[in-house]
Amino acid sequence: MFKIKAFISLLFLSLLIVSCKKDNEIVVPDVAKQPTVTFNFKALVDNAPLVPNTKWYKNANNDSFCVTKLNYYISNLKFRRDDGSVYSEPNSYHIIKHVEGVTSFTVLDLPEGNYNQIEFLIGVDSLRNISGSQTGDLSPDSLMFWDWSTGYIFFKFEGQYKNTTTPVADYYSMHIGGFKAPDNFIKKCTFNLSTHLIAEKNKRSKVFYNTSINEIFTNPIIVDFNTYASVGGGRKAQQISDNYQDMFTVDHIEN
Protein backbone atom coordinates (compact mmCIF):
# COMPACT_ATOMS: atom_id res chain seq x y z
CA MET A 1 0.00 0.00 0.00
CA PHE A 2 2.85 2.39 0.86
CA LYS A 3 4.43 1.77 -2.57
CA ILE A 4 1.16 2.54 -4.36
CA LYS A 5 0.72 5.77 -2.42
CA ALA A 6 4.33 6.77 -3.11
CA PHE A 7 3.84 6.10 -6.84
CA ILE A 8 0.63 8.15 -6.94
CA SER A 9 2.33 11.02 -5.10
CA LEU A 10 5.30 10.96 -7.50
CA LEU A 11 2.96 10.88 -10.53
CA PHE A 12 0.97 13.84 -9.20
CA LEU A 13 4.18 15.80 -8.55
CA SER A 14 5.42 15.11 -12.08
CA LEU A 15 2.15 16.27 -13.61
CA LEU A 16 2.27 19.39 -11.46
CA ILE A 17 5.82 20.22 -12.64
CA VAL A 18 4.88 19.73 -16.31
CA SER A 19 1.77 21.85 -15.84
CA CYS A 20 3.82 24.65 -14.26
CA LYS A 21 6.32 24.58 -17.13
CA LYS A 22 3.53 24.92 -19.68
CA ASP A 23 1.88 27.74 -17.73
CA ASN A 24 5.14 29.66 -17.40
CA GLU A 25 6.46 29.00 -20.91
CA ILE A 26 7.11 32.20 -22.93
CA VAL A 27 6.13 31.83 -26.55
CA VAL A 28 7.96 34.25 -28.84
CA PRO A 29 5.71 35.10 -31.79
CA ASP A 30 7.10 34.89 -35.30
CA VAL A 31 7.94 38.38 -36.49
CA ALA A 32 7.51 38.83 -40.23
CA LYS A 33 10.69 40.16 -41.76
CA GLN A 34 10.66 43.04 -44.21
CA PRO A 35 11.51 42.13 -47.81
CA THR A 36 15.11 42.28 -48.99
CA VAL A 37 16.55 42.48 -52.48
CA THR A 38 20.07 41.42 -53.47
CA PHE A 39 21.78 43.00 -56.47
CA ASN A 40 24.26 40.89 -58.42
CA PHE A 41 26.59 42.24 -61.11
CA LYS A 42 28.34 40.08 -63.72
CA ALA A 43 31.10 41.62 -65.86
CA LEU A 44 30.96 40.56 -69.51
CA VAL A 45 33.22 41.01 -72.53
CA ASP A 46 31.78 39.99 -75.89
CA ASN A 47 28.78 38.60 -73.96
CA ALA A 48 30.99 36.15 -72.02
CA PRO A 49 32.07 36.39 -68.36
CA LEU A 50 35.21 38.45 -67.84
CA VAL A 51 38.40 36.47 -67.29
CA PRO A 52 40.64 38.98 -65.47
CA ASN A 53 44.42 39.32 -65.49
CA THR A 54 45.26 36.71 -68.11
CA LYS A 55 42.80 36.80 -71.02
CA TRP A 56 43.24 39.36 -73.79
CA TYR A 57 40.34 40.96 -75.66
CA LYS A 58 39.77 43.35 -78.57
CA ASN A 59 37.99 46.67 -78.12
CA ALA A 60 36.02 48.70 -80.67
CA ASN A 61 39.27 50.29 -81.91
CA ASN A 62 40.82 46.84 -82.42
CA ASP A 63 43.26 47.39 -79.54
CA SER A 64 44.13 44.34 -77.44
CA PHE A 65 43.60 44.65 -73.70
CA CYS A 66 43.36 42.68 -70.47
CA VAL A 67 41.63 43.73 -67.26
CA THR A 68 43.30 43.74 -63.85
CA LYS A 69 40.81 46.01 -62.05
CA LEU A 70 37.18 47.04 -62.52
CA ASN A 71 35.65 48.91 -59.60
CA TYR A 72 32.73 51.33 -59.35
CA TYR A 73 30.25 52.80 -56.88
CA ILE A 74 26.51 52.16 -57.08
CA SER A 75 24.63 54.66 -54.91
CA ASN A 76 21.35 56.44 -54.19
CA LEU A 77 19.11 53.53 -55.15
CA LYS A 78 15.44 54.33 -55.77
CA PHE A 79 12.56 51.93 -56.35
CA ARG A 80 9.28 52.99 -58.00
CA ARG A 81 6.09 51.05 -57.34
CA ASP A 82 3.13 50.60 -59.66
CA ASP A 83 1.20 53.21 -57.65
CA GLY A 84 3.89 55.79 -58.50
CA SER A 85 5.40 56.00 -54.99
CA VAL A 86 9.20 55.91 -54.72
CA TYR A 87 11.33 54.33 -52.00
CA SER A 88 14.88 55.65 -51.57
CA GLU A 89 17.37 53.40 -49.79
CA PRO A 90 18.91 55.26 -46.82
CA ASN A 91 22.70 55.46 -46.62
CA SER A 92 22.83 54.01 -50.12
CA TYR A 93 26.50 53.50 -51.08
CA HIS A 94 27.79 50.21 -52.47
CA ILE A 95 31.10 49.28 -54.05
CA ILE A 96 31.57 46.66 -56.75
CA LYS A 97 35.02 45.13 -57.35
CA HIS A 98 34.78 42.55 -60.11
CA VAL A 99 38.34 41.24 -60.10
CA GLU A 100 38.28 40.80 -56.31
CA GLY A 101 34.90 39.03 -56.45
CA VAL A 102 32.90 41.76 -54.68
CA THR A 103 29.93 41.66 -57.03
CA SER A 104 26.77 41.94 -54.92
CA PHE A 105 25.04 43.84 -52.13
CA THR A 106 21.68 43.62 -50.35
CA VAL A 107 19.07 46.29 -49.77
CA LEU A 108 17.24 45.63 -46.49
CA ASP A 109 13.69 46.47 -45.42
CA LEU A 110 12.29 47.25 -48.85
CA PRO A 111 8.62 48.23 -48.38
CA GLU A 112 6.12 45.76 -49.74
CA GLY A 113 4.80 46.29 -53.23
CA ASN A 114 5.28 45.66 -56.93
CA TYR A 115 8.14 47.70 -58.37
CA ASN A 116 8.42 48.57 -62.06
CA GLN A 117 11.54 50.77 -62.05
CA ILE A 118 14.96 50.92 -60.39
CA GLU A 119 17.25 53.91 -60.46
CA PHE A 120 20.80 54.41 -59.17
CA LEU A 121 23.87 56.57 -59.59
CA ILE A 122 27.31 55.51 -60.75
CA GLY A 123 29.43 57.49 -58.31
CA VAL A 124 29.13 59.21 -54.95
CA ASP A 125 26.96 62.29 -54.40
CA SER A 126 28.42 65.69 -53.55
CA LEU A 127 27.54 65.58 -49.83
CA ARG A 128 29.58 62.44 -49.19
CA ASN A 129 32.40 63.72 -51.38
CA ILE A 130 32.95 66.69 -49.08
CA SER A 131 32.56 64.75 -45.81
CA GLY A 132 36.11 63.44 -45.68
CA SER A 133 37.07 59.80 -45.23
CA GLN A 134 34.24 57.59 -43.98
CA THR A 135 33.43 53.99 -43.08
CA GLY A 136 31.90 50.95 -44.74
CA ASP A 137 32.03 50.89 -48.53
CA LEU A 138 33.08 54.56 -48.39
CA SER A 139 36.15 53.80 -46.29
CA PRO A 140 39.53 54.83 -47.75
CA ASP A 141 40.45 51.16 -47.31
CA SER A 142 38.48 50.52 -50.49
CA LEU A 143 41.24 52.41 -52.36
CA MET A 144 38.56 54.44 -54.15
CA PHE A 145 39.28 57.73 -52.35
CA TRP A 146 41.69 60.45 -53.43
CA ASP A 147 41.65 62.93 -50.52
CA TRP A 148 39.33 65.30 -48.66
CA SER A 149 39.52 67.97 -51.36
CA THR A 150 38.89 65.80 -54.43
CA GLY A 151 36.78 63.01 -52.92
CA TYR A 152 35.95 59.62 -54.36
CA ILE A 153 36.92 57.71 -57.46
CA PHE A 154 33.61 56.66 -58.99
CA PHE A 155 35.02 54.27 -61.60
CA LYS A 156 38.42 52.55 -61.70
CA PHE A 157 39.49 50.54 -64.73
CA GLU A 158 43.03 49.20 -65.10
CA GLY A 159 45.02 46.67 -67.07
CA GLN A 160 47.38 46.32 -70.03
CA TYR A 161 46.98 47.04 -73.73
CA LYS A 162 48.72 46.44 -77.05
CA ASN A 163 48.19 47.80 -80.56
CA THR A 164 50.14 48.55 -83.73
CA THR A 165 51.61 51.68 -82.15
CA THR A 166 52.39 49.95 -78.85
CA PRO A 167 53.29 46.35 -79.76
CA VAL A 168 54.83 45.67 -76.34
CA ALA A 169 52.20 45.57 -73.60
CA ASP A 170 51.84 48.80 -71.64
CA TYR A 171 49.58 49.79 -68.76
CA TYR A 172 46.34 51.75 -68.87
CA SER A 173 44.56 53.43 -65.95
CA MET A 174 41.15 55.14 -66.06
CA HIS A 175 40.18 56.71 -62.73
CA ILE A 176 36.97 58.76 -63.02
CA GLY A 177 35.76 61.02 -60.23
CA GLY A 178 34.44 64.53 -59.77
CA PHE A 179 31.15 66.13 -58.75
CA LYS A 180 31.66 69.86 -59.43
CA ALA A 181 30.72 71.43 -62.76
CA PRO A 182 32.13 71.31 -65.35
CA ASP A 183 33.76 68.11 -64.08
CA ASN A 184 30.65 66.42 -62.74
CA PHE A 185 30.91 62.75 -63.69
CA ILE A 186 28.08 61.34 -61.56
CA LYS A 187 25.86 59.30 -63.87
CA LYS A 188 22.23 58.32 -63.33
CA CYS A 189 20.94 54.98 -64.62
CA THR A 190 17.22 54.19 -64.88
CA PHE A 191 15.80 50.73 -65.61
CA ASN A 192 12.18 50.06 -66.50
CA LEU A 193 11.53 46.48 -65.41
CA SER A 194 9.81 44.12 -67.84
CA THR A 195 9.48 41.71 -64.91
CA HIS A 196 8.27 43.37 -61.73
CA LEU A 197 10.33 43.26 -58.57
CA ILE A 198 7.84 41.89 -56.04
CA ALA A 199 8.56 42.72 -52.40
CA GLU A 200 6.72 40.67 -49.78
CA LYS A 201 7.39 39.97 -46.11
CA ASN A 202 9.76 37.09 -45.39
CA LYS A 203 10.84 37.18 -49.04
CA ARG A 204 14.29 37.67 -50.54
CA SER A 205 14.32 38.82 -54.13
CA LYS A 206 17.32 39.09 -56.48
CA VAL A 207 18.13 41.39 -59.37
CA PHE A 208 20.85 40.28 -61.79
CA TYR A 209 22.73 42.87 -63.84
CA ASN A 210 25.20 42.43 -66.66
CA THR A 211 28.05 44.93 -66.85
CA SER A 212 29.30 45.18 -70.44
CA ILE A 213 32.98 46.16 -70.60
CA ASN A 214 32.58 46.63 -74.36
CA GLU A 215 30.42 49.68 -73.67
CA ILE A 216 33.36 51.49 -72.05
CA PHE A 217 34.98 51.72 -75.47
CA THR A 218 32.05 52.74 -77.63
CA ASN A 219 28.98 54.99 -77.83
CA PRO A 220 29.03 57.88 -78.00
CA ILE A 221 32.75 57.74 -78.92
CA ILE A 222 35.27 55.06 -79.88
CA VAL A 223 37.99 54.83 -77.22
CA ASP A 224 41.54 54.01 -78.27
CA PHE A 225 44.32 53.35 -75.80
CA ASN A 226 46.80 55.64 -77.53
CA THR A 227 44.59 58.56 -76.45
CA TYR A 228 42.94 57.19 -73.30
CA ALA A 229 45.62 55.04 -71.65
CA SER A 230 45.76 57.49 -68.73
CA VAL A 231 42.52 59.21 -67.68
CA GLY A 232 41.97 61.04 -64.41
CA GLY A 233 39.76 64.02 -65.16
CA GLY A 234 38.75 66.70 -67.61
CA ARG A 235 37.33 66.09 -71.08
CA LYS A 236 38.61 62.52 -71.35
CA ALA A 237 36.95 61.53 -68.08
CA GLN A 238 33.68 63.06 -69.29
CA GLN A 239 33.85 61.02 -72.47
CA ILE A 240 34.63 57.77 -70.68
CA SER A 241 31.81 58.33 -68.17
CA ASP A 242 29.39 59.08 -71.03
CA ASN A 243 30.39 55.73 -72.55
CA TYR A 244 30.04 53.60 -69.42
CA GLN A 245 26.72 55.14 -68.36
CA ASP A 246 24.88 52.51 -70.40
CA MET A 247 27.08 49.52 -69.56
CA PHE A 248 24.39 47.97 -67.32
CA THR A 249 21.44 45.83 -68.39
CA VAL A 250 19.01 43.87 -66.24
CA ASP A 251 19.52 40.19 -67.06
CA HIS A 252 16.68 38.80 -64.94
CA ILE A 253 14.84 39.08 -61.63
CA GLU A 254 14.10 36.31 -59.14
CA ASN A 255 11.11 36.87 -56.85
Question: Is the residue at 185 inside a domain?
Answer: yes
Total domains in the fold of the chain: 1
Question: Is the residue at 101 inside a domain?
Answer: yes
Question: Is the residue at 67 inside a domain?
Answer: yes
Question: Is the residue at 6 inside a domain?
Answer: no
Q: How far apart are CA 240 and CA 185, in angstroms?
A: 9
Burial of 231 from C-beta contacts in 10 A (0-12 / 13-18 / 19+): buried
Query: Could you read off the pLDDT tens digit of each residue along the chain, which spans 255 residues?
Result: 544 444 445 444 454 444 444 444 544 444 458 899 999 999 999 999 999 999 999 999 999 999 999 999 999 999 999 999 999 999 999 999 999 999 999 999 999 999 999 999 999 998 888 777 688 999 988 899 887 556 899 999 999 999 999 999 999 999 999 998 888 999 999 999 999 999 999 899 999 999 999 999 999 999 999 999 999 888 999 999 999 999 999 999 999
Question: Is the residue at 30 inside a domain?
Answer: no
Question: Is the residue at 106 inside a domain?
Answer: yes
Cα dihedral 179, 182, 185, 189, rounded to 10, equals 100
Question: Is the residue at 22 inside a domain?
Answer: no
For the residues of 93-162, what is the DSSP string, one character each? EEEEETTTTB-EEEE--PPSEEEEEEEEEES--HHHHTS-S-SGGGSGGGS-B--TTT-B-SEEEEEEEE
**Predicted pLDDT of residue 235:** 93
Domain span at residue 59?
35-254
Question: Is the residue at 27 inside a domain?
Answer: no
Instruction: Name the amino acid, one letter, at 253.
Output: I
**Predicted pLDDT of residue 31:** 45
